[in-house]
Amino acid sequence: MSNESEILQLVYQVILDRKANPSDSSYTAALMQKGIDKILKKIGEEATEVVIAAKGGVRKEIVYESADLIFHLLVLLGHQDIPPEEVWSELQRRFGTSGIAEKASRNDTA
């Protein structure tokens, strides 16, 4: 496991631990307890902040806001009991396929 994927897995494990063992001092536990609507709202806010940072073009801000977005996506996955490996597998499935062709294949099955 690379350091990059290892940190994602470690963060996800902490998220699962906060879900199973909530404490009053945990932001993640509080977010989980507020439910799916609050988690989705945070993802929307963080995605918007990534867009604003990217528009501003300041590398450090883009990195910081992207980390926030990825964290909140991991919270969503944890809340929904979806291991990140399922996302990685989907990315692997798509790898080497034209984005246009991949999207068209989804439209065929919809």
Does residue 1 surpass a pLDDT of 60? no
Does residue 94 surpass a pLDDT of 70? yes
CATH number of the domain located at residue range(s) 3-105 in this protein:
1.10.287.1080
Among candidate residues 80, 81, 88, 51, the one with its CA nearest the CA of residue 68: 51
Among candidate residues 35, 52, 46, 39, the one with its CA nearest the CA of residue 68: 46
What does the pLDDT average to over 1-10?
A: 80
42, 72 Cβ separation under 8 angstroms? yes
* Reported pTM: 0.86
Among candidate residues 15, 25, 27, the one with its CA nearest the CA of residue 74: 15
What does the pLDDT average to over 39-67?
A: 98
Instruction: Looking at mean pLDDT, say which of 5-14, 62-71, 97-106 comes out highest.
Output: 62-71
- pLDDT given for residue 46 in this prediction: 98
Does residue 83 surpass a pLDDT of 70? yes
Domain boundaries, the chain: 3-105
